[in-house]
Each structure stands twice: as C-alpha cells, then as structure tokens.
Structure 1
C-alpha cells in the first residue's frame, strides 16, 4: 500500500550508515602474474586504505593488515601507492604508508617476511612524501616521485624523480636515495623503456595545471643507471599529455590533446607522432592523481580506452573507436582511470546506476563481466534507487549544460498530485572534474525520502573537450554559478522541481560554487558547502597546498594583477550579500581547503546574522572518509533541508541552526 505523504518526509530503508559503508570500496586496480591487485577504502576503519589481491573472483585476500594504510600525500591527492614487480625470480611489493609517508618493501614469496622501509625517515613529520611507484630496470630499484618539504609554508615543496634501492640502503641513510631527474616543478614517475636504455615521464610547471599544458620527457640511461639531460617529445603550454606508456624500445603510446581532444598517439623517440584514431572524443582526462591510466594495450593492435569515462575499444590499424556490447555499456557506464589488461581481459574499477564501484574484468569481444569485488555495504532494493536521466539544458547564450537528473523514488510513498518535490542541485568538485550516471548512495539517501537531485556538468567540466573545459577560464564563480542556476530554474519551469524549494550543495570546488551562488543568485532557499574554497586571496598567498596554489591563475586570472576580481568574487568578502541559510562542513586536517578560512567565514556569517550551521570533524582531511563523519554529514544535511525547506525530516537528530 502506498502512503501519501509530503516530499521530504518519506521514511526509507537507506540509512546514513548504508551511505557511509558505500563510501568505501576499490580505488585503483592493477595486475601482476595474472593476479588482480587493488586498493580499497574502508570508512569503518577510519578511512584506512587496504591492499588486496585475488586470482579469481571470490578469493580476495588482504595483503597488508591494519595498521598498514596504503596511501600517500603526493600533491595531497595522492599518487599511485604501490607496485608489484619481479627481481631475480622473486616477487616484491613496494608501497607507501600513510602514517609516515615512507616507502616499504615486502618479499611476497616469503610468508614470514615483514615490510621494511626502503626510504629514509624525514626529520619532520611527512617531510618526505613518495608516490607513483614503478620498478626500475632489472627490479633493483623503485622509481617514484619524491616531495620534500623545504620550509614552513604550504608551497615550500621540492620534487625529484628518485630511485630507492630494494636492498634498503636508503632506509636509514638519506644519501642512499638516488636522484634521477628534476626537469619540472611537477612530474609523474619515470618509467624505463623495455630495453632499459631510456626513461620517460611527464612534467609541468606553474602556473599551468596538468590539464592546461604538460611535456613528455625522455632521457637516455647510461651504463651506470644515470639519466642524461632530458628532451621533450611532445606537449607544451597549450597541450596536455596525461598518460604515456612504452609501446616498444623506441616508441611510446601517448594520450594528448593537440587538437583540443585527448586522443591516442604513437610517438617515436625522434618526436614523430601519429594519431591512432582521430576522434572528437576524450580518450584521457585530468591528471589529478599521478599514475592514472585512461588506456591499456590489449596487445593485438587494439587499445582499451576510456571515452569520457566509458569503456571503449580503439583499433590502431583502422582508427575505429567502438563501444563494448550494450549490456556492458549500460550497466557499467563509468570507469575510473585505472585500466590494466589481464589475459585478454580489461581490468578496472567500474560503476553503474545499479552498482557501486567494483573491480571488474571484461572480455572485450564477448562482453562477459567478472566481478572481483562486491559493491561496498549492503545495497537496498532497486525499487528505492533513483534512475539517472541524462539531460542537456541550454544556457542564455545557447551554451549546452549537461546534467544527470535523479528524481524522488520510493515504492512505499507518493506525494499529493498538487505538490512538487524539493530538489538539490549538486555541483561537483575540481572544478576540473565531472559527474557520471552511477549509483550514489548519498543521492539515494535523499531521493528515497522524496528529495530530488540534479548533478550538473557545468562549463569547465571534463569529458567534453578543451573548449568546453576552458569556458571556465577566468570565469570561476560566474560560469559554474550561472550554469547551475540555469538548470535549477529549468527544472522549476518544467514542473519537475518546486521552484521555491531548491537548494544547492557541493564539496571543495562544489562548495565554492554553493557559497558563491548564495551571494548572487536568488534561485536557492539554502545550500550546503563541504570543505569549500572561500578566500581567493588566501589561496593566492600560500593558503593552500602547492599543487593548486596557482590554479586560480587560470580560473580567476593572474594575481596580483586581478586582485580586485579575487576580492569581489570570494564568498568570504560577500557574507553581507548572503541570500539564504548555509550549512558548512569541514575537516580539521584539510591542507587543500584549510579549516582556518572556513572558521573566519563562519564567524562572519554570525557577525552579519546569516542563518547557518557549522560542523567540523577532527581527523578528516579533504573529503570525508570516516563512517562516523559520513553519517553525521548526511543526517545534518537532511535536518537542515527539512528546517529550511519546510518539511519534517524523519529519524535524524535536529541540527541547531544559528539565526
């Protein structure tokens, strides 16, 4: 029997605990000797990242038990944290450990072996950070990127490509670390060619972000293992190389975008290059984490590629780009940039409208899917899960605005015919990122209670080419705010959403869009900003980590030349213009959007009498990883929306709103 009840008041079997459990799951995947390896986030263990391996689906084994945490702080977002390789017939595992950021080595063939440090202990906590690990020639060294803290400021960082002897000679002696190269301020880990005669890596310098412009570097390796002066094979200030893999001893396969779309090229050591399939499709993505992989060589002239996040096949002989069988494409439309190949299968981490992230292997010819992990947590009945609808809205100047619509859905409830549902406009992070049509238990937590969600790929999002991405150039706080508002108003005009009960939410850059929107757009009744960017001048003056410290040059304009623009757009300077209540959620150990800017902003909200609530969480960095935090955040959001949008939220503690 269906109960008639107001939107927002529906009871749901999807709890905040379910959402917290689903917040974990696999992160990165790879293969070694036909084994499948992956890292897995575990909210119930304080957000620890575990490392697992399996031969076949169902026989997963954890390689390192607690307290080992296979994660690192490289660029604060982390780089690939492990590599398995062979040396003298023995299998070795090298990995980074979050607690001390050191690199450890484990001999996998010895069941009694314990991990031992092969990088030195820093003089200050996390003074060295390592990431994007790879095996050096012959397996005698682990090659990786090393960050070194050189001062007290957040941007006082030096980076080198280094080699760590597997003997452990550098574990106690910093002098045992061999510097390979320091070509740029930012670099991916170097990879040796199959014959050990060359090394290749990607580098870039401020003010460019890696999706703006990078360079593919190659250097010769001499008999002593030293690298010569590097030369640039491709890439520049306006071309972004995001992945490079050795195709042979004298050529690489590269994802780069000289024509405005990330395509695959074969690049010879003399710089000659050939597009393997010229398409107006994105076969690459933003290099937020070094070591990301958008393509993998199947070894038969075909490549598994991610086409704007969806798995596809590129035939390098014909240049033809094709999707996988329709059931694979529809059930698993979104793949993370962590592709690998295992005996003719494509391995990766994929998700879909009915499946959370899972490690899967797909036969590219038959479409057979094998799942090595289950969806984290316990999935509710599908009848309670929203079905994402792909939509494209039109902006005032004719620009297209892609979005995914998640309508309220609960088989036990319905609202009166004359009531329209409240809606949440979700602004993704980055802002150089995107949303995909996948199962999101956070969204389902709201939709199963009668609150709709629309996730917007505003101008600046990836997956639509460089021109769309650069719509946001010097227009952050303008284009993103405008696109989200356009979608919100359209839903109200179409009778899909109650135009008087629309809220906006987002984390990081999405938190910026939320706070910015509430200072200049009257579309929303309230908003939730999670670990948001709030103070642009603070960012430009050492208020964030080194990786993004010049991000605003492209998003807002060069500083200090555009100081007035920085001041005018920053929500921290426009609190008196806040048009609606705001919920602010912040991690206290966040080095990307530090808590001090949030606290100054909240103090200003109180000073100006703006209704608000503020929750801060000890032990959380940028993005919430702990089960208790995720639970508290969702319950606080639901209570906040209920109080502001005018419905009685069921089964959650009442959030105190400062008025």
Structure 2
C-alpha cells in the first residue's frame, strides 16, 4: 500500500533541474555530403546549462562533438524566430552567430572567421550551400531606414562576403532549395496579411553555367493554399507539400509545369513555418522517399511509394518526430515518445537504429504519466482535441474520495500543436498529484486546414470555449476536481490563459508566461512577421480588439494570477505583462510577477527555467491551500492573505 497524501502534495524525484535539462533542443539537422561515405550529420543543440547557448554538434563515428565554444552561439534572428542557421560541405561549416547575426565559417582545422560584415545591420537564415559555385544561398533581412521595418530578400553570399540580391519585393521569403547540380533554384514567398500556413507562393529561377541566376518566375501562386518544404529528388524532380484538399499532402511537379498530389492521406506532412530549416520528408541517394506525418496528435515515420503515393508506416516505438534528413540510404530524425524525450536518432537501411544524442533523462525509477488522446464536443457543435495526463506516482496515492486539481496547458502560436513527446514539465506536475490537459484547441495544426483555420475571427472565443468544454468533459467523467482548475500557457497561449481568467469563472488561478493582455498594443508594437497576424485571428477593428483584450476588462478578473516575463522580449514586450500586473494590483487581486532580465521570447537559461517552474508550483500550492508541502521557493504574492 502506498502512503496516502492529498493530490498536489506528493513529493517527487522530478526536480526543476530535470525540467531545465529537458530544455536541451535539437534543430537544423544538416548533412555534409562531401566524400563517398554518405555524409556526416550535424545539428544545432541548445544548451540551457550554458545559459541557453546553442552550439553546432557533429556526429563523429557515433560520438557527438561540439564544434564551437562560448561565447559563439548559433542563433538567427530573421523574422525573430530564426532557424536554418547552419550549412556544411567538405568539413567547412557556416553558421549565423547570435551576437552579431553575421555568417561565420569554421574550417576543417577549427579556425573561425566572419564571412559577412559583423558591423552590418544584416541578418541571415535558411543557409544552403551551392556546391557547384561555392557560395551560400540564404534569406537576408535588413532594416529599412525609411519605414523602420525589416526587409527580407533572397540572396547569394559569395566567398568574399559580398551579398548579392537574387529576389526582392515580397514581404517574406523562405525555403531556398537547389536542384542537384545547381541548375535550378526554388523558394517560397508570401505577403501580408497572410501567414505562411495561410497562403504561400512557389517561385523558381534557372542558373546559367557561369553561375548567373536568371529572372524569377512563379511556379504556383494559389489563392488559398499553404505550400511547405520544396525538395528536389536525386533526379531533379521537384516536390512540395500543399493543403489543397484540407490536408498537407506531398505533391510532385509535372512535365507541363503543374503539380499533382502524390500522397492522399488524412494526415499532415507539414508543420507551421514559425522557423526556418524545418523538414518533413527526404530522399535517399537511391530515390526512396521517407516522410513524417501526423494525425490526431500522433506522428509517424514512413516510406512513400513513389508509384502509388501510399504511405507505409515504419513500425517504431515512437509517436513523435520532427526534422528528417537522408544520409545515403539512412535517415536521421529527432524522435520521441511518452517515455523518451526528444533525441537525435539514425535509422539505417537494414532497419536498425542508433541514438546519436539525447537530452538528460528523468530518474530511472520514476512513474510516468502516459498521454491519452481525448476529444470533446465544444461550442457551435465543433470538436476540440487534446492530450490528458492523469497524476501518477511510484510512491504515493491519494484519498479515494478526492479528485486531482487539473492544469490546462495552452500551447503557443496560436497556430501550433502539442504532441506526445516526453515532457519533463508535464511530468513535474503529474508526479506531484496534478492532472494536466494539454489542449489542441481549434486553430491548432495536425488536424487539417479547416481545423487550423477555425480560429479565424474567433481568437479569444473558440480557444477559450475549448478550454471550458474540455474541463466539463473531464469533470463529467469524474477525473478532475472542477473547483481546482488551473491554467498555464506561454505567448499566444498566455493570451488564452488571461482570456479564460478574465471572461470565464473556469479557473481558480493561472500562470501567464509572456502572455498578451492588450491586443491593441500588440498590434502597434509587435514585429513584422506577426504584425498582420491579428487580421485573420480577430481583425483590426478597435472595438473588437478592446472587447477581446483582458486588460480592458481587468475588473472582471478576480482570481490569482502569476506573470513570468523576459525583459528582452520583442515578440510580446514586457509592457504586456506589466500593464496587467498594475491593473490587478490596483484592483486588489492576488498577483505575482517574476521578471527575467536576460531572457527574450521563451526562457533558455537553466537557472531561469528552474526559477519559473518553482515559482509556478509555489503559486499554485499557496493559492489552492495545499498542505504538507515544505520544499517551496519564496514568492511574493501581492494582495494575498495566505489562505487557499
């Protein structure tokens, strides 16, 4: 018999340090294909224990080796979110350095040198090495002195650092890709007010024998289709993902210049293009096509029959994948499942696999809560989705008559999605006796274009309703304590948090990580990439923006709120949190505010990650009045008398 303790008071071996260690991220999987061995794999690795620094890691015969030392850190700032920040060939590696946004070169001996001017106001992303002409193709962004807005271009960066403009005029560019032999260049482009998951265009230019890149010409200019991830096969045939028939399926270019659907799955072969350098399918040297697809929150790795388009799942013990590149006949991915955190894994042609790099794992003997896919009827007769995690402990049980408090977790974006990968943050809560509902509210990706577009005009309404109905669904099944509902989210998810707390009586308390309280101010102050995002989500009518902004209705918010904010955040500036804190402080509502001077949008430093989650636990424990918890960190909660 396990000792009985109240939900929320269970001691746990999963610490804040485990949550911080799980912040190690793997991105920008890249192959140096020089030589005859199928290539060498490299990736970008974010390390919270080094203050959030990102390094380049190379797989040297199964041993991961970091290629750059502090203070150098790989980080592109194009469109603020960056990505696609490395390229490699012949032992040379090119990368965007975070502090100056210049492109640097690391030679085979390890020597570093800046290729572009470190003093120039110029940022780069989506680096592609042109083997034929020895140059880099990239997306560049610079500030227009007249408009004070960044301007994006497609460029070539030459060996001498000269930056040549190849295409300009669109608001945004992404995904430049070269055909085998560098005879053709393609890329994506789009304009305001669209986001890349709304409408994108595919463009191309021929490359002459002297390296001159010809005039740009459109290949596909849809009115209401999102294009993603152009890729050439080994024979130079162009493929691209498009959501023509609701689902993001792979299409192939035809001889007459059009595109025909190759796959025909009720699944998504793409992800929202928040960052550069994403990949969901790859061709091996012999032309086999391997792809990643998601449906109902579950990801699969499979092979596409190039004759029939049939997607055959490769049965593996993983249900989350991101990033895929081919090395000869093998493929490398970032993989995970509910028991294993994201890691870099190589799948060989013979079916064997090997781990190349992994984040620190949780304690070996800890009991893990497994995600359960749930759907529920929500407002307007629609369906909403999510993942439910029940509380679980290897050491403690709860009274039979008690039901656990539940934390609603709201992902960012809002065009994003949750997934089944082991999440140390969720396990931190479930191991202490909290249930978690990770909500894929309407507007999330992975459920088709119609579901993704269902938040249009309804942000702050549909996502809020989906949280309400999700709680009601769990309460009806007697799985949670409906009087102890908590809600937490970051960025756009933080907006949903503040909207739920302001416009409903659903939650007892909430935590907003760099969330949005004033939509009017956001519209006026946010960066270019998202500056027209609200057009589709809400509109630009002043009355509507005020009606949906928690700040303008702060008098309706009466439950305790915790705010956590990076002071260098340009996406959701600190004044969003500070104005809400001031309003609640003045109205006498219990409020706590934790600011992090060095953090931008999203917390990357291990100490800050630990401080944030420990503050959140202290906050919940105190406002719910959970007894017998004696390992809490100090936290100042204003207007709070200490009662539950």
Q: Same fold (TM over 0.5)?
A: yes
Aligned to 1:576: 555
Aligned to 1:357: 342
1:479-494 equivalences under 5 Å are 479-494=462-477
Q: What is the number of equivalent residue pairs in this alignment?
A: 629
Cα displacement (A) at 1:440 = 0.7
CA distance 1:654–1:493, change in 2 (3 Å): farther
| Alignment of 1:452 onto 2:457 | no
Aligned to 2:624: 645
Aligned to 1:539: 522
From 158, 161, 174, give the equivalent of 1:165: 158
Unpaired segments ≥5 residues, structure 2: 34-38, 640-644
Superposition TM-score, scaled by structure 2 size: 0.94
Cα displacement (A) at 1:650 = 3.5
Task: Indicate conservation of the 8 Å contact 1:301/1:315, yes or no.
Answer: no
Cα displacement (A) at 1:539 = 2.1
1:253-268 equivalences under 5 Å are 253-268=239-254
Task: Indicate conservation of the 8 Å contact 2:404/2:479, yes or no.
Answer: yes
Aligned mates of 1:12, 1:549 — CA distance in 2: 43
Aligned to 1:3: 3
| Alignment of 1:563 onto 2:567 | no
Aligned to 2:31: 31
Task: Indicate conservation of the 8 Å contact 1:395/1:483, yes or no.
Answer: yes
Aligned to 1:428: 411
Aligned mates of 1:235, 1:284 — CA distance in 2: 18
Q: Deviations over 1:375-406 (max 9, x none)?
A: x2242135422111111112143322111111
Mean Cα deviation higher: 525-534 or 356-365: 356-365
Unpaired segments ≥5 residues, structure 1: 171-175
Cα displacement (A) at 1:606 = 1.1
Cα displacement (A) at 1:191 = 2.5
1:356-505 equivalences under 5 Å are 356-363=341-348, 366=351, 368-374=352-358, 376-505=359-488
| Alignment of 1:604 onto 2:583 | yes
From 315, 318, 325, give the equivalent of 2:308: 318
CA distance 1:438–1:652, change in 2 (3 Å): same
1:299-310 equivalences under 5 Å are 299-300=285-286, 302-308=288-294, 309-310=299-300
| Alignment of 1:181 onto 2:181 | no
Task: Indicate conservation of the 8 Å contact 2:133/2:211, yes or no.
Answer: no
Q: Secondary structure at the match of 1:474?
A: coil
Aligned mates of 1:317, 1:101 — CA distance in 2: 44
Cα displacement (A) at 1:640 = 0.7
Task: Indicate conservation of the 8 Å contact 2:489/2:496, yes or no.
Answer: yes
CA distance 1:522–1:434, change in 2 (3 Å): same
Superposition TM-score, scaled by structure 1 size: 0.92
Cα displacement (A) at 1:533 = 1.9
CA distance 1:317–1:301, change in 2 (3 Å): farther
Aligned mates of 1:226, 1:38 — CA distance in 2: 31
Cα displacement (A) at 1:248 = 5.6
Aligned mates of 1:574, 1:268 — CA distance in 2: 55
Q: Secondary structure at the match of 1:217?
A: strand
Q: Secondary structure at the match of 2:43?
A: strand
Cα displacement (A) at 1:365 = 6.4
Cα displacement (A) at 1:364 = 6.3
Mean Cα deviation higher: 96-105 or 235-244: 235-244
| Alignment of 1:50 onto 2:43 | no
From 130, 139, 147, give the equivalent of 2:141: 147
Task: Indicate conservation of the 8 Å contact 1:51/1:64, yes or no.
Answer: yes
Cα displacement (A) at 1:607 = 1.6
Aligned mates of 1:549, 1:143 — CA distance in 2: 27
From 109, 112, 116, give the equivalent of 1:115: 112
Aligned mates of 1:438, 1:382 — CA distance in 2: 19
Aligned mates of 1:246, 1:183 — CA distance in 2: 25
Aligned to 1:278: 264
Mean Cα deviation higher: 224-233 or 419-428: 224-233
Aligned mates of 1:358, 1:392 — CA distance in 2: 29
Aligned mates of 1:116, 1:267 — CA distance in 2: 40
Aligned to 1:550: 532
Aligned to 1:173: none
Aligned to 2:98: 98
Q: Deviations over 1:324-362 (max 9, x none)?
A: 11xx1xx321112x2101232221111111111100012
Aligned to 2:642: none
Q: CA RMSD in A?
A: 1.8
Aligned mates of 1:134, 1:383 — CA distance in 2: 43
Aligned mates of 2:133, 2:375 — CA distance in 1: 50
CA distance 1:597–1:83, change in 2 (3 Å): same
| Alignment of 1:65 onto 2:69 | yes
